[in-house]
Amino acid sequence: MSSYRIQGATGEWEVVIGLEVHAQVVSNAKLFSGASAAFGAQPNQSVSLVDAAMPGMLPVPNEECIRQAVKTGMALGAEINRWSRFDRKNYFYADLPQGYQISQLYHPLVGEGTITIDADEKAGIAEARTIGVERLHVEQDAGKLMHDQHPTRSYVDLNRSGVALMEIVSKPDMRSPSEAGAYLRKLRSILRYVGSCDGNMEEGSMRADVNVSVRKPGDPFGTRTETKNVNSIRFVMAAIESEANRQVDVIEGGGTIVQETRLYDPDRNETRSMRSKEDAHDYRYFPDPDLLPLELSEEFVAQCRAELPELPDAKRARYEGELGLPAYNAAVLTSDVETARWFEALLDATGKPGAEVARAASNWLISDLFGALNRLGKAIDESPVSPKQGAELLALVADGTLSGTLAKQVFEIMLETGDDPAKIVEERGLKQTSDTGAIEAVIAEVMAANADKVAEYRGGKDKLFGFFVGQTMKAMGGKANPGVVNELLKKALG
Amino acid sequence: MSVDAATVRKIASLARIAVTDGDVEAMVPELNNILGWIEQLGEVDTDGVAPLAAVIPNHQRLREDVVTDGNIRDKVLANAPQAEHGFFAVPKVIE
């Protein structure tokens, strides 16, 4: 259990959090029409007469959207309901031309599942925890309103209207803002592995409704509020903290919490009531008469299962077990699907058994490549160096052509020029030398120039050995094989 | 189950239908009559009978994930009381 507590005037309070995540499904067309689901079209161009809710238009579900939701459900270890049904959620708003959203209340496509969040001491999560997922269902997105284009009008763009969303509802199992953040990061990672949602919160393809209540530890659940449409993990964590503190203040001030819909204002870091949503819980759901129940064949379900990729937890266990990677490396490499893909392409390109090269490859990727990408502000799928080039560089280190220092130099040149490492080594003469004659000559020079230090070393000041290694390497432009330098120096210094 | 005048007003307001006091007065008994008939259905024993989704046995057909529609903005906006710059223009609705 989390030790996160809010200190109130009357003692400690525990925070109870549940999240409803809306994840936009990756598909070509919308959930119930043949209009494009892609971003960026001119206003109202990705709109069919179904999406505009013209009279007599009938919805037909998109098989790919159902498949994506089923695969996501499987990735959450959840029950896939062979029989589910669409319901109408009725409300009026300018971004909802139908006057109802087609959703699934009574019989969702996916039942209970779980998400495991990992221990993270820095975030105050002492041990891995399993967070329950209550359900996953598919529903339509609404259109978009713009309020700042005209003094007295709002503009409506229906391009998003009818795009498929998965609503993924957690159980009220989280107990701290950090746990909520970890849950969202893990969910996003799973969605991106499955390929059912791009997880881009900035562009709105993943947003969260945050349910928060507070209680004295051990008491039953308190009354919760729902803060709508929070669009970044950082804001979700901040909204929880500010809303929980507000609730403690209200209760300790003698008030009671009203079950209501609230809005998070990141500029002021506070939540406030959305009075316009007073009727919000009176949605008068009923089965959509335009749609038959959705029945999945065993064949369809089996096909979805066969298409499921290796998921982050399984991949991480395999990296630690089969590849023998340290836990930290395995966690970093598997947290995002693009990183894992790049790493596996790198291992493939070495042409060697994974277990043999994985450790060096993972260290290089995490420190050198990530460092460079950070500096360049690029994501791993935009890396100027390809996995194949990375593998060549690692091979040059493994066979002794390059020392660690030289490899870093070559890598910098690769980043700048995009050239292959072998070509760089050849053209710029950056090859490491193990030529004992040349190294011995330099050692003799270094010793002659530092006769006093030689005497000190021989007098018992062992620490000076590093000084001689440094001087020798420097004199050789970093190109001497460090192993050979060590060996020859020991001999020369006696 | 029965409805009173307040419930009728609430339902009307949720449906965005304007009703006069006279309408409400007439509608209370009318709706209660309908509810009475529906309640009669409750007398039928339906234990063990699966809900019927459609009278004709049929399965929901699914569509292929192909873009086949859209790019008909003029048609989409044709009936709008007001449209500007390719958007529907509606009275300002802001929180």
Give the model confidence (pLDDT) of A79-130 as tens digits: 999 999 999 999 989 999 999 999 999 999 999 999 999 888 888 888 899 9
pLDDT on residue A401:
85
| Rounded distance between C-alpha atoms, residue B66 and residue B72, angstroms | 17
CB proximity list for A84: less than 8 A, separation 6 or greater = A104, A107, A108, A109, A137, A293, A294
Find, in chain B, the residue whose alpha carbon is nearest to that of A273. Answer: B95
Nearest alpha-carbon partner for A29 in A46, A8, A52: A46
With an 8 Å Cβ cutoff, is A280 touching chain B?
no
Given a cut of 70, whether residue B49 has pLDDT beyond it is yes
CA distance B17 to chain A (A): 12
Nearest alpha-carbon partner for A296 in A24, A29, A107: A107
pTM: 0.86
C-beta atoms of B63 and A44 within 8 A: no
Give the residues of chain A that fall short of pLDDT 50.
Answer: none
CB proximity list for A131: less than 8 A, separation 6 or greater = A114, A115, A116, A117, A170, A171, A173, A174, A179, A183
Structure tokens at B12: 């009307």
pLDDT tens, position by position, B69-88: 999 999 999 999 999 999 99
pLDDT on residue B5:
96
| Rounded distance between C-alpha atoms, residue A357 and residue A341, angstroms | 16
Domains belonging to chain A, first-starting first, are: 6-300 (no CATH), 310-428 (no CATH), 436-493 (1.10.10.410)
C-beta atoms of B65 and A65 within 8 A: yes
Neighbours of A3 (CB within 10 A): 11
pLDDT on residue A218:
92
Facing B67 at nearest CB: one of A28, A284, A287: A28
Facing B86 at nearest CB: one of A34, A36, A43: A43
With an 8 Å Cβ cutoff, is A109 touching chain B?
no
Query: What ipTM, to 2 d.p.?
Result: 0.91
Find, in chain A, the residue whose alpha carbon is nearest to that of B89. Answer: A155
Identity of residue A283: Y
| Rounded distance between C-alpha atoms, residue A490 and residue A472, angstroms | 12
- How far is CA A172 from its chain centroid? 22
DSSP state, residue B50:
P
- As a whole number, mean pLDDT of residues B25-49 equals 94
Nearest alpha-carbon partner for A191 in A273, A136, A154, A266: A136
pLDDT on residue A275:
66
Neighbours of A156 (CB within 10 A): 24
pLDDT band at residue B56, thresholds of 50, 70 and 90?
confident
Domains belonging to chain B, first-starting first, are: 5-41 (1.10.20)
| C-beta of residue A14 within 8 angstroms of C-beta of residue A176 | no
Chain B residues touching residue A279 (CB < 8 angstroms): 14
Chain B residues touching residue A50 (CB < 8 angstroms): 69
pLDDT on residue A280:
57
C-beta atoms of B77 and A94 within 8 A: no
